[in-house]
Amino acid sequence: MQQQHSFGFQIFDDISELNKEDTALLEEARKTTQKAYAPYSNFLVGAAALFNNGEKVYGTNQENASYPVGICAERVLLASASMIQTDVPIKTMAISYNNLSRTGNSNIPISPCGMCRQSLAEYEGRTKQPMRLILSGMEGKVIVIESASQLLPFSFGSESMK
């Protein structure tokens, strides 16, 4: 028997089409890219998240000369979130990037890597609430996904350990 997995998402032409709350969060993610440490790739990633209680937390990618030691903005943010608001779910996370390389641009929506997708899905499972994702660059189209776990079908989670 063949089955199919799919999910819905919204695509906006630019930030001006978002509601006020999402616009503000994406603007903060874009601004946060300035704090990234990416001297090797010049690919600066910033993430901003809004907790259910209205508080916010931020993260940036942190590169390292020993390549596997680096960490993505999303996981920096989730680690901070777990310490700052232990029992408060994240309502929405905005992720943006600024590609400062000679040949790069920053106008295509970014998407979390596989490791970050796993971490986002685990966080959703732990807090028992979907986390909306707003994905963008410094300009151009914006993608909104209603639940981060939609990016990782057939994920490995706590239920897999039982």
Backbone angles phi, psi at 130, to 5 degrees: -65, 145
Backbone angles phi, psi at 160, to 5 degrees: -70, -20
Q: Is 141:10 a contact under the CB 8 Å cutoff?
A: no
Instruction: List CB contacts of 138: < 8 A, sequence separation 6 or more.
Output: 30, 33, 96, 97, 98, 106, 107
Using alpha carbons, list the distances in angstroms from residue 72 to 31, 41, 115, 120, 154. Answer: 16, 13, 9, 12, 22
Tokens 């000679």, located at residue: 102
d(CA 19, CA 75): 26
Annotated catalytic residue 74: yes
Among 63, 74, 122, 124, the one annotated catalytic: 74
Helix intervals (H) in the chain: 20-32, 73-84, 114-127
Active-site positions read: 74
